Amino acid sequence: MRKVDKAIKDRAEIWLTDVFDEDTRREVRRMMDTDPEALEDAFYKDLEFGTGGLRGVMGVGTNRMNKYTVGMATQGLADYILRTSTDLEKPRVVIAYDCRHNSEYFTYVAADVMTANGIEVFVFDALRPTPLLSFAVRELNCQAGIIITASHNPVEYNGYKVYWDDGGQLVPPHDKNIIEEVRKTSVEDVRFDGQKELITALDETFDREYIKRIKTLSLTPENNIKQGDDLRIVFTPIHGTTVRLAPQALKAFGFNAVYNVPKQDVTDGDFPTVKSPNPEDPAAFDMALKKAEEVNADLVMATDPDGDRVGLAIKNEKGQYILLNGNQFASILTWYVLEQMKQQGRLTGKEFMVKTIVTTELLSEMAADYKVEMFDVLTGFKYIAEKIRQLEGKKKFLCGGEESYGFLVGDLVRDKDAVIACCMMAEAAAYMRSQEMTLYDLLRKIYKSYGLYVESLISITRKGMQGAEEIKAMMDTFRKEPPDSIDGLTIARILDYQAGLEWDLYLDQKLPIDLPSENVLQFILEDGTRITMRPSGTEPKIKFYFSCRTILDREEDYDEKRQLLLDQISRIKGELKLE
């Protein structure tokens, strides 16, 4: 039998003490006796409470999502809330959860720990999407919010995301301070003896208030009513949290021809109809596209399990359904918001937008054309929320997004919101219909005006302790030994966000990057092509982002020009040995 490192075994033996329940102790003994590989993976490290909270495989062990790791995270968070809210008689926290296995269980573990510490807790009475949690934090004047979700990760995962009082995910200084509190918390410190009288349930009344508020974001409400019976929409929550809320919101916006996918309306943490509940995965759309063919839908939308990301399929000029990526989704909505604001005379020079550094530069091109300020931030919607908070009362946030299918219109919510995005995309489609155009026509029009951008992403998974070392080695190699050229094109600039430096290779000049340090490396080639390397902060992956651009003189040349850029990206991937 494989020999387990003594340090790992010692960590596991702590979980055999009577601090832990009998089921937990029994599983630790089983791994010790018969499954050393599982024991090693479960105990080789602590499940790290990072800036986004916890995310990991469910099970027994320090490196797993379970009652005790959730309890320690919550106790550390409770301690920080109490330390920073001394002026409040009873601080408040709101908790929501998604459709995954154990999500409701972990919710009440967290609620018990919070109330045991004298903190008032609001808990949604059933699963709800992440953006509703973000909205609730501010609406209920809470000091923090928690959502139990693993987003679009595989079925064996769950997670624990923390929001601060602005409705956004944790950013400095709170992220580091809370991490410190959690790190010094042991199982013995956790107070699991909750006070039920401090828990208040939130029902559909709160949903109706949210829909009422997001309806105010509509830019062409009268046209929605005119087009609402004819614009055909297929929507699927892929077994997740938007199953009721998104169709209700679409109807409130005036869209009555909404068709569901009955088998995917079933709430199920096994996600039985898909291999991956991720709208970035084309296969996740299979059932929805079949439904779209049946009803001759104009657009097809699918959200991820916790309802913050949305994917889109539309018809091309041949009447065939095509899937758009997150950059294309963001480009359409950005144009629609900017154009309507301009037409209605609502651009005053005090508006702004935000995107992440791996999101298409096409958004910046459009913002500049409409004379709206664009900010680039690190990857993660929490940085978009942070920028909204920084400029609150000074400038008006219009919209912002990231390439990973996350978008937000308006500042009612401080995270990406698939419900708002679905409603606004339907509205954009209805507007184009009134102009006798489709969203596909609009996309080509945008490319003709600003340049054709094509993006691609590769995610390489490396699990376990060895995988983490492999990912680190990849980044070290690219950082210390970058190539001189790629695909015959000279590297003009290297942006090392970890070092906080931008290196202009032509001028041999290094300039500071005014963003927080993060393990991201970006190569910009002489033709503007961008290659970005970034280890995921929530999954055992390293992600490679590619973006190429060319001029599109005629809309009819779209397919041909797009293929040339795809070929360029393919060559780059091959040269970097990623394919």
Active site residues: 151
* Beta carbons within 10 angstroms of residue 184's beta carbon: 11
Which has the closest alpha carbon to 443: 548, 337, 296, 330?
A: 330
| Total residues belonging to the chain | 579
Rounded distance, CA 147 to CA 424, Å?
A: 24
Angle between helices 418-434 and 130-139 (to 10 degrees): 110
Output phi, psi for 97, to 5 deg: -150, 160
Q: Which residues touch 446 (CB under 8 Å, ≥6 apart)?
A: 331, 332, 335, 362, 366
Q: How far apart are CA 422 and CA 309, in angstroms?
A: 10
- Which uninterrupted H or E stretch holds 12? helix 6-14
The contacts of residue 181 (CB under 8 Å, 6+ apart) are 76, 77, 79, 80
Plot region of 99 (φ>0 → left; ψ -120 to 50 → alpha; else → beta): alpha
DSSP string of 112-158, one letter each residue: HHHHHTT-EEEEESS---HHHHHHHHHHTT-SEEEEE--TTS-TTEE
Yes or no: say if 7 and 46 are a contact pair by the CB < 8 Å rule.
no
Which regions of 156-257 does DSSP assign to beta strands (E)? 157-164, 199-202, 233-236
